[in-house]
C-alpha cells in the first residue's frame, strides 16, 4: 500500500464505517424486519419473534387506512408537484426578466421560507388558515368570499396544507431554475424574436428545451419529496379531518412508534421505497424520450 | 420605448408583490407574537398589535411558580439542546466528510471509483427505510433517548462527501504534487494546502449541516422520549398539540425557532446561494 492510499483510507474509512452502520446495515435489516411480526412482544423478548413471510404485506393490502394513506399521498403528490414546480418556474421566469431590479434582494426574500423549520412555520400556517382568526380568510373576506374551514374540511385539508408546502419550498427550485435560465443561449432567443416567434413559442421551443434537464431533476426530487410528507400533517391536522391527511409516512410512524408494530411499519417503508423508485424510473424514461437525460 | 417601460414596471411590481406575499406569514408571525394575549383571536384578526408586549415570550421562556409548583414550557432547555446537537452534528460531520471528500477527489486508492458509485446509489434510498431498524439497533446499544442517538445518522454525510469532492476536484494537481516533491506528508498537504483552499466550501457545508440538524423533526421525535431532551421542533410540536388555540403563544414559539436560522441564513446567504448553484449565477 502506498503512502497516498494509506492516507486516503484513513480519510474515508471513518465516514464509510458510519454510513455502513447507520444506512447500509439498517436498510438490509429493514428487508429482514418486514417479513417478521416484530411488535411490542418481540421488543420485550426476542423469543417472541416469528417469520411470517408476506404476512405484513398482505395485512397491509387489506387495511383500509393504508389504502387511504396511499390515496392521500398520491393526491398530495399529484397536486403538489405541479403546484410547487409551477410556482418555482413562474417566479424564476419573472426574476429572470431583464427589467427586474434588485435581483439578489428578491432572491433572498423568496428563498427565506425554505430555511425555516417545518414545525415552526407549519404552526404559523395552522393559524393563518384558521377559520375565524386566520389572515387568509380575512384576505378572502376583503373580496367578498365567506370564511372557509381550510383544515377542518376533509376535501380542503390537502389543498390547504399544499398551500403551506408550496410557500415553504418554491424558493429552492426557483434558485435552481434561475441558474438554468441564465444558461439559455442568447443568440437563439434573439433569432427566435427576429423571426417573430410569439412569447409562448419562444418559451416552448427555446427556453423549455434548454432547462429541460433541470426541470426533470426538479420533478424527480419533488415527487420523492412529496411522497415523504410527514411533519406538515403531523403538526397541522394530526392526520385529520376524518383521516384525509394521513400520509404513507404518517401511517408508518403511527404503526411503528405509536403501536410498535415495527415489522408492519418496515413493510410500509419498503413499499414507499419501491414506489419512489418506480416513479423515478418512469420519469427517467420520459426524460430520455425528450432527450433531457 | 414606451411598452418596454410599462413592461419593466409590471415585472418589478409583480416581483415585489410575490416577495411581500412570501414574507407576509413571517411578518405576521412576529407581530402576533407581540400581541397581548387573546388579541389575535378576534374577528377580523388584527395585523398590528394594539400595544407591543413581551408577555408571550415571558410566559413561554420564564419558569414560574404556579400553585406551589415550578412550571415552564421547557423551551429554553430545548433551545440549548437544539443548539448543542446542531453544533456537535455539524462539527463531527465536517471532521468526517471533508477529508473523505478530498480523498475521493484527489487521492489514488484501490476501489475509489466503485465506492463512489455506491455512494451515489445510496442517495436514492429514502432515509425512512433505515429508520426503524436503526432505532432497534440504537435500543440494543442503549443510545435511544440520547443526544448521540439523535446525532449519529446525520454523520453519514453522503451528500456532504460528494459536495466536498466536487469542490476539491477544482484544486490543481500541480499544487499538490509540488508539495509532495518538497517532502510534505499527505496529512500536512491536506492541512496546510487543501483545507485553506476549501474553506469557503466548508463554511457553506457547515451552514447546510447546521440548518438540516436544527430543522430535523422526524428522527429526534422518534429517538427522544424524555421531554428534557427534546429539540426545539419536537418541543414546539408537543406544545402545539395542547396550546394550538393560543395563537400569540405559538407565534412566539415559532419566532424563537425560526429566528436563529433566518439570522444565519441572512448573514451567510451569499455562501448559501453560491453553494446551491455551484457558482453559476451572479447577482
Do B28 and B93 belong together in one domain? no
Do B54 and B106 belong together in one domain? no
Chain B residues with CB under 8 Å of A172 CB are 276
Local confidence band at B281 (pLDDT 50, 70, 90 cut-offs): very low
Do B23 and B134 belong together in one domain? no
CA–CA gap between residue A109 and residue A104 (Å, rounded)? 9
Q: Which domains does chain A have, with CATH numbers?
A: 62-289 (1.10.3720.10)
Chain B residues with CB under 8 Å of A141 CB are 44
State how far the alpha carbon of B136 is from the alpha carbons of A235, A264, B153, in Å.
Answer: 25, 14, 13
Local confidence band at B132 (pLDDT 50, 70, 90 cut-offs): very high
Q: Which pLDDT belongs to residue B64?
A: 82
Residue B283 falls inside a structural domain? no
Last residue of a domain, one of B41, B62, B83: B62
Helix and strand counts by DSSP (H, E) for chain B: 14, 2
Condensed to tens digits (0 to 9), the pLDDT of residues B231-272 reads: 999 999 999 988 888 889 999 999 999 999 999 999 988 888
Nearest chain B alpha carbon to A227: B126
Residue B69 falls inside a structural domain? no
Residue B255 falls inside a structural domain? yes
Q: Which of A100, A121, A252 sits opposite B128 (nearest CB)?
A: A252
Residue B70 falls inside a structural domain? no
Q: Which of A7, A120, A126 sits opposite B257 (nearest CB)?
A: A120
Nearest of A11, A1, A7 to residue B179 by alpha carbon = A7
A98 vs B44, residue with greater confidence: A98
Do B87 and B30 belong together in one domain? no
Do B163 and B40 belong together in one domain? no
Domain of residue B10, residue span = 3-62
Do B239 and B204 belong together in one domain? yes
For residue A129, the 8-state DSSP code is T
Average pLDDT of the residues in A106-130: 95
B56 contacts B248 by C-beta, under 8 angstroms:
yes
Do B108 and B236 belong together in one domain? yes
Proportion of chain A above pLDDT 90, given as a percent: 73
pTM: 0.93
Chain B residues with CB under 8 Å of A2 CB are 108
Residue B99 falls inside a structural domain? yes
Cis, bond preceding B44 (omega within 30 deg of 0): yes
CA–CA gap between residue A233 and residue B174 (Å, rounded)? 54
Do B146 and B265 belong together in one domain? yes
Cβ contact, residue pair A100, B187, below 8 Å: no
Do B110 and B146 belong together in one domain? yes
Residue B130 falls inside a structural domain? yes
Do B140 and B240 belong together in one domain? yes
Residue B68 falls inside a structural domain? no
Condensed to tens digits (0 to 9), the pLDDT of residues B209-223 reads: 999 999 999 999 999
Note whether B222 contacts A: Cβ–Cβ < 8 A: yes
Taking only residues 36 to 95 of chain B, the set having a beta carbon closer than 8 angstroms to any beta carbon of chain A reads 40-45, 47
Do B114 and B233 belong together in one domain? yes
Condensed to tens digits (0 to 9), the pLDDT of residues B5-64 reads: 888 899 999 999 999 999 999 999 999 999 998 888 877 778 889 889 999 999 899 888
CA–CA gap between residue A219 and residue A216 (Å, rounded)? 5
Last residue of a domain, one of B62, B83, B112: B62
Note whether B164 contacts A: Cβ–Cβ < 8 A: no
Least confident range from A112-116, A234-238, B90-94, B279-283: namely: B279-283
Condensed to tens digits (0 to 9), the pLDDT of residues A57-85 reads: 999 999 999 999 999 999 999 999 999 99
Cα dihedral sign for B126, A126, A77, A199? negative
Chain B residues with CB under 8 Å of A116 CB are 26, 215, 257-258, 261-262
Chain B residues with CB under 8 Å of A284 CB are none
C-alpha Rg value of chain B to the nearest Å: 24
Local confidence band at A127 (pLDDT 50, 70, 90 cut-offs): very high
Do B12 and B79 belong together in one domain? no
CA–CA gap between residue A184 and residue A200 (Å, rounded)? 15
Complex prediction ipTM: 0.91
Identify the CATH number of the domain in which residue B96 sits: 1.10.3720.10
Provide the number of structural domains found in chain B: 2
CA–CA gap between residue A221 and residue B159 (Å, rounded)? 14
Residue B67 falls inside a structural domain? no
Residue whose entry in the numeric block shows the C-alpha cell 434537464: A213
Residue ranges of alpha helices (H) inside B107-246 are: 112-122, 127-140, 147-151, 158-168, 173-181, 186-189, 195-215, 218-223, 232-243
CA–CA gap between residue B250 and residue A120 (Å, rounded)? 9
Amino acid at each position: 500500500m502506498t503512502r497516498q492510499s494509506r492516507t486516503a483510507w484513513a480519510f474515508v474509512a471513518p465516514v464509510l464505517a458510519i454510513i455502513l452502520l447507520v444506512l447500509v446495515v439498517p436498510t438490509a435489516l429493514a428487508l429482514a424486519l418486514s417479513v417478521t411480526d416484530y411488535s411490542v412482544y418481540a421488543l420485550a423478548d426476542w423469543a417472541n419473534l416469528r417469520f411470517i413471510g408476506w404476512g405484513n404485506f398482505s395485512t397491509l393490502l387489506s387495511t383500509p387506512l393504508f389504502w387511504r394513506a396511499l390515496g392521500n399521498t398520491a393526491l398530495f403528490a399529484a397536486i403538489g408537484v405541479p403546484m410547487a414546480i409551477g410556482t418555482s418556474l413562474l417566479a424564476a421566469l419573472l426574476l429572470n426578466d431583464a427589467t427586474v431590479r434588485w435581483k439578489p434582494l428578491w432572491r433572498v426574500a423568496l428563498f427565506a421560507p425554505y430555511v425555516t423549520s417545518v414545525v415552526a412555520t407549519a404552526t404559523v400556517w395552522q393559524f393563518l388558515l384558521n377559520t375565524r382568526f386566520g389572515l387568509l380568510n380575512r384576505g378572502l373576506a376583503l373580496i367578498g368570499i365567506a370564511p372557509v374551514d381550510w383544515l377542518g374540511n376533509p376535501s380542503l385539508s390537502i389543498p390547504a396544507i399544499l398551500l403551506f408546502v408550496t410557500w415553504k419550498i418554491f424558493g429552492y427550485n426557483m434558485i435552481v431554475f434561475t441558474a438554468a435560465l441564465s444558461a439559455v443561449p442568447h443568440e437563439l432567443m434573439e433569432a427566435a424574436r427576429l423571426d417573430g416567434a410569439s412569447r409562448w413559442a419562444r418559451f416552448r421551443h427555446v427556453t423549455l428545451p434548454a432547462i429541460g434537464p433541470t426541470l426533470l431533476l426538479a420533478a424527480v426530487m419533488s415527487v420523492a419529496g412529496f411522497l415523504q410528507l410527514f411533519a406538515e400533517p403531523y403538526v397541522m391536522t394530526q392526520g385529520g379531518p376524518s383521516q384525509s391527511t394521513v400520509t404513507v409516512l404518517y401511517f408508518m410512524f403511527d404503526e411503528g412508534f405509536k403501536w410498535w408494530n415495527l415489522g408492519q411499519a418496515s413493510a410500509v417503508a419498503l413499499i414507499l421505497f419501491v414506489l419512489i423508485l418506480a416513479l423515478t424510473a418512469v420519469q427517467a424514461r420520459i426524460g430520455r424520450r425528450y432527450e433531457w437525460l | 420605448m414606451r411598452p418596454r417601460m410599462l413592461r419593466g414596471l409590471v415585472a418589478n411590481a409583480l416581483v415585489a408583490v410575490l416577495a411581500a406575499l412570501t414574507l407576509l406569514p413571517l411578518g405576521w408571525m412576529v407581530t402576533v407574537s407581540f400581541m397581548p394575549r387573546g388579541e389575535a383571536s378576534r374577528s377580523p384578526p388584527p395585523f398590528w398589535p394594539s400595544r407591543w408586549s413581551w408577555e408571550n415570550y415571558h410566559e413561554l421562556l420564564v419558569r414560574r411558580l404556579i400553585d406551589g409548583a415550578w412550571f415552564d414550557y421547557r423551551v429554553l432547555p430545548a433551545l440549548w439542546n437544539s443548539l448543542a446537537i446542531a453544533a456537535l452534528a455539524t462539527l463531527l460531520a465536517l471532521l468526517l466528510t471533508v477529508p473523505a471528500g478530498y480523498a475521493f477527489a484527489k487521492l489514488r486508492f484501490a476501489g475509489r471509483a466503485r465506492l463512489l458509485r455506491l455512494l451515489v446509489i445510496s442517495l436514492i434510498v429514502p432515509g425512512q427505510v433505515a429508520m426503524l431498524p436503526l432505532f432497534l439497533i440504537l435500543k440494543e446499544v442503549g443510545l435511544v433517548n440520547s443526544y448521540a442517538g439523535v446525532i449519529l445518522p446525520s454523520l453519514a454525510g453522503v451528500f456532504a462527501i460528494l459536495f466536498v469532492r466536487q469542490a476539491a476536484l477544482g484544486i490543481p494537481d500541480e499544487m499538490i504534487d509540488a508539495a509532495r516533491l518538497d517532502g510534505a506528508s499527505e496529512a500536512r498537504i491536506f492541512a496546510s494546502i487543501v483545507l485553506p483552499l476549501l474553506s469557503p466550501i466548508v463554511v457553506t457545508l457547515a451552514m447546510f449541516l447546521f440548518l438540516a440538524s436544527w430543522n430535523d423533526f422526524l428522527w429526534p421525535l422518534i429517538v427522544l422520549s424524555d421531554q428534557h431532551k427534546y429539540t426545539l421542533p419536537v418541543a414546539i410540536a408537543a406544545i402545539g398539540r395542547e396550546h394550538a388555540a393560543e395563537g400569540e403563544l405559538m407565534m412566539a414559539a415559532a419566532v424563537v425557532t425560526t429566528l436563529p436560522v433566518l439570522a444565519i441564513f441572512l448573514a451567510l446567504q451569499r455562501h448559501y446561494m453560491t453553494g446551491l448553484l455551484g457558482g453559476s449565477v451572479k447577482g
